Amino acid sequence: MSTHLLTGAGSGIGRVLAERLLARGDEVLAVARSEERAAEMAADLGGVTTLVADLADAASVEALGDRLPPRLDSVVHAAGVVELGAVADLPASAWTEQLAVNLVAPAVLTRVALPALRTARGTVVLVNSGAGLRANPQWAAYAASKHGLRALADSLRAEEPDLRVTSVFPGRTATAMQETVHAQEGKAYDASDWIQPGTVADLVLHVLDLPRDAEVPELVVKPV
């Protein structure tokens, strides 16, 4: 049995990944933003262990260090927030929240999990975005956070040679976040137009299950 620490397990890619890890008998520790959300996740994901931390609050994330097990086979960062807007219009709060949740929280959580990851020679997976490879109009703040996430992965990979570090760059995926994006863009949303969350979750599982003789530094997946 392997032990995995997940953010974003309440919905979308993270939810499907948690379900599949639990179904095969692995231990899953899922970060929830509140006690109420933790209770909901515990009811929905049988066997999950919940840890409460607000990803927008670095001190809250750092406090998880005292609650982690001595060994972690993986940490998967699948949580994220998005708020679109032109550089001329976005308030400072939009920049601050997206950088805090999408970049600072993964950096802090990875740091406090490093002792347990080193013990297991574990894997860190950062679920990034196509916006982490290019920045389009209206996407400046989100793309900046995701470009930073790629930099975090690259530095971590070089600093921790005993760990495997993978950045996954999905294109538009049929999640609640994508529905929010469509609403912000003023477009109709049809989940069948986009990558299904299970497709990305399966790719993450493949990365986690790779034999020790291989590492996938980056993985790009696009809708057809």
Where in the sequence numbering do the catalytic residues fall?
A: 142
CA angle, residues 146, 45, 207, in degrees to nearest 5: 45
Residue 208 gets the label, from left (phi > 0), alpha (psi -120 to 50) or beta, of: alpha
Distance from C-alpha of 30 to C-alpha of 172, rounded to nearest angstrom: 24
Instruction: Say if residues 129 and 147 touch (Cβ distance below 8 Å).
Output: no
Distance from C-alpha of 164 to C-alpha of 166, rounded to nearest angstrom: 7
Distance from C-alpha of 5 to C-alpha of 79, rounded to nearest angstrom: 12
Q: Which of 106, 216, 109, 107 is nearest to 167 (CA)?
A: 216
Identify each DSSP E strand in the chain by its residue range: 3-7, 27-32, 49-52, 74-77, 123-127, 164-170, 218-221
Residue with tokens 């196509």: 130
Give all strands of the β-sheet with 164-170 in edge-to-edge order.
49-52, 27-32, 3-7, 74-77, 123-127, 164-170, 218-221
Q: H or E stretch including 159?
A: helix 140-159
